[in-house]
Amino acid sequence: MQEKGLTIGALTLAAGLALGLPAAAQQAADTLAPEIGSGSGERTVVPAKRQMVAAANPLAAEAGTEVLRQGGSAADALVAVQTVLGLVEPQSSGLGGGAFLVWYDGESGEITTFDGRETAPMAASPDLFLDDEGEPLAFFDAVIGGRSVGTPGTVRLMETVHERYGALDWADLLAPAIELAEGGFAVSPRLHTLIANDRGKLDQEEAARAYFYDADGEPLAEGTQLKNPEYAETLRAIAEGGSEAFYTGEIAEKIVAAVQDHPSNPGLLSLEDLAAYEVKERPAVCAPYRGYDVCGMGPPSSGALTVGQILGMVSHFDLAALGPDDPETWRIIGDATRLAFADRGLYMADSDFVSMPQGLLNQNYLESRAALLRRPTALGEDEVEAGSPPWDKAELRMPGLEPERPSTSHFVIVDKDGNIASVTTTIENGFGSRQMAAGFLLNNELTDFSFAPESDGEAVANRVEPGKRPRSSMSPTIILEDGEPAFALGSPGGSNIIPYVANSIIALIDWDMDMQQAISLPHLTNRFGTYAVEAGTPAEAFADELEALGFEVDITDLTSGLHGVAFTPEGLEGGADPRREGVAIGD
């Protein structure tokens, strides 16, 4: 093991990534060539002096970088990155989904957040995901079709942020995605694999089957030039008419028809729901950690609160001295994560609908929770339960059933003026609801609500309610030191997003790793009792030791998509997750 901790031994980035890339993206991919398939290479941080994009696909990163080179702001580049991502990795995010943005203003030094989360239709009720017998539906019985589709927020988020912070013309920012959609892009190895693995779901829906599979019903092969003229048409309408062209008129009608007219699982989304959608600007939730301020999204995200709780508990232990190679480190982090998830399950939901404890990040409370970790072995199942933080008129709720699945995407943009956008964006499950409308996939975000609206006669915090936003684990993060940016990062991965981000922060701060080392660090996560250990990495060596400490262990794939930027005296350092096909590009 290396001096700075565990490293990924075999990168999952597959050969062929460079197919069809523009010149700068081709160059970015070529720098990874020694690592592709070799099992011996190791990514290093990408340096830059003044601006950077780190995103999950080279085409998207290049589109954002070109916007910055034309004098655009991070808000401008956000539009280009998101619209290209929605085309080239449609399984993860897009116009039919939602996003959270944490924004740092380079001039004022202030952090704010924008909530572009999907909302439940006004016709929705708490029993949305119950069957005729009053029992929760099986996950994919709920997902596939119109029932799971919430009002998308991404388009309104892009426009809101552009109006506030943009410098370039709105229509010009959509041009890269339009050009790619009309001219075609190469199907990446990852997209091919995901299409193939989703047989039996994605190919059951006519529009999706026609787009993602060939005439023989086979998944599109790697390198296939895929065009999406309908997506280009949608973007042209948005370029001309702004978000109103999406939330009203022909595009909105196509969305509602796809949802309401599904033959076996229709949904409730209406034209009125679309027309009424609003992005909400909310104050950032910031938690202290060893002299840093770790800032992110508050409710309806559970991200910043849960990450902050984990960091607040482990701050009472000398993780720097223990290091990443000591099983004791992972006992402390794992059980801190379990305790934080117990609070998350009971208390956290859309705070516009549910009164939450005001003391979840109270330092005395977290110190009392940390005291539970001062023991030689893992906490028993009956010892992991929600605590009693200071309340301040909170409502007592019950934990619920939310089978949150990993998908999503994260990107970070830094512009020449010091503005930072840390964005986590999603359609929830891979390929969302499997419904396509106007050239893009629709989300299944409503399945992030609890399927069961009550437990033991008490209401569940994250129950379905009309107009409510489902609880999320998305954790876009910006970290300050003495008021100045130190790191910006985030990840996809369902509820594993939270430990992915928390563990990376610990790696950056306690173990002095650079951004790429922290991102490439093998994953060990424990949310609900079983310790997930990333298969095929040196982390597998911990399995026996974790079991000896009393944990049940599951060696499994843990496909994060961490992307981040560190701010150093020399400039910027970007990192991209080797488990996906992203890159960092900077000037």
Encode pLDDT of 350-379 as tens digits: 999 988 888 999 999 999 999 999 999 999
- The domain of 69 spans 23-281+402-586
Whether 510 is covered by a domain: the verdict is: yes
Residue 5 carries which DSSP code?
B
Q: What is the pLDDT of residues 43-59, one digit of tens each?
A: 999 999 999 999 999 99
Is residue 231 within 8 A of residue 96, CB to CB? The reply is no
Residue 523 carries which DSSP code?
P
Average pLDDT over residues 387-395: 69
What is the separation, in whole angstroms, between the first and last Cα of the chain? 33
Lookup: tokens for 353? 């609908």
Q: Residue 390's pLDDT is what?
A: 82
The DSSP result for 530-563, as a single string, is: EEEEETTSGGGGGHHHHHHTT-EEEEE------E
Q: Is the pLDDT of residue 393 over 60?
A: no
Query: Residue 492's closest CA among 405, 580, 560?
Result: 560
Whether 332 is covered by a domain: the verdict is: no
Q: Is the pLDDT of residue 3 over 90?
A: no
Whether 12 is covered by a domain: the verdict is: no
Q: What is the pLDDT of residues 525-580, one digit of tens each?
A: 999 999 999 999 999 999 999 999 999 999 999 999 999 999 999 999 999 999 99
Average pLDDT over residues 98-116: 98
CATH of the domain at 463: 3.60.20.40
Confidence of residue 172 (pLDDT cuts 50, 70, 90): very high
Is residue 490 within 8 A of residue 496, CB to CB? The reply is no
Lookup: tokens for 533? 């250990």
Q: Residue 356's pLDDT is what?
A: 86
CB atoms within 10 A of CB 321: 9
Give yes or no: 408 in active site. yes
Residue 34 carries which DSSP code?
G
Q: Which of 408, 447, 537, 559 is catalytic?
A: 408
Residue 91 carries which DSSP code?
T
| Residue spans of beta strands (DSSP E) within 217-318 | 225-226, 280-283, 285-289, 292-296
Look-up: residue for tokens 């509602």? Answer: 256
Whether 130 is covered by a domain: the verdict is: yes
Query: Residue 176's closest CA among 92, 77, 263?
Result: 77
Lookup: tokens for 467? 């107009």
Q: What's the half-sphere exposure (Cβ side, CA atoms, 13 Å) at 506? A: 35
Q: Residue 455's pLDDT is what?
A: 82
Is residue 299 within 8 A of residue 486, CB to CB? The reply is no
Whether 396 is covered by a domain: the verdict is: no
Q: Please give the model's pTM, rounded to 2 decimal places.
A: 0.92
- Alpha-carbon distance of 14 to 11, in angstroms, equals 8
Lowest mean per-residue pLDDT among 69-73, 156-160, 459-463: 459-463
Q: Residue 395's pLDDT is what?
A: 53
Whether 463 is covered by a domain: the verdict is: yes
Q: Residue 215's pLDDT is what?
A: 94
Single-letter amino acid code for the residue at 287? A
Bridge partner list, 254? none
What proportion of the chain, given as a percentage, has pLDDT over 70? 90
Query: Residue 14's closest CA among 518, 513, 579, 569?
Result: 579
Confidence of residue 137 (pLDDT cuts 50, 70, 90): very high
Query: Residue 579's closest CA among 513, 523, 527?
Result: 523
Whether 315 is covered by a domain: the verdict is: no
Whether 374 is covered by a domain: the verdict is: no
Single-letter amino acid code for the residue at 140? F
Instruction: Give the chain's domain count.
Output: 1
Q: Is the pLDDT of residue 293 over 50?
A: yes
Q: Residue 501's pLDDT is what?
A: 98
Is residue 111 within 8 A of residue 286, CB to CB? The reply is yes
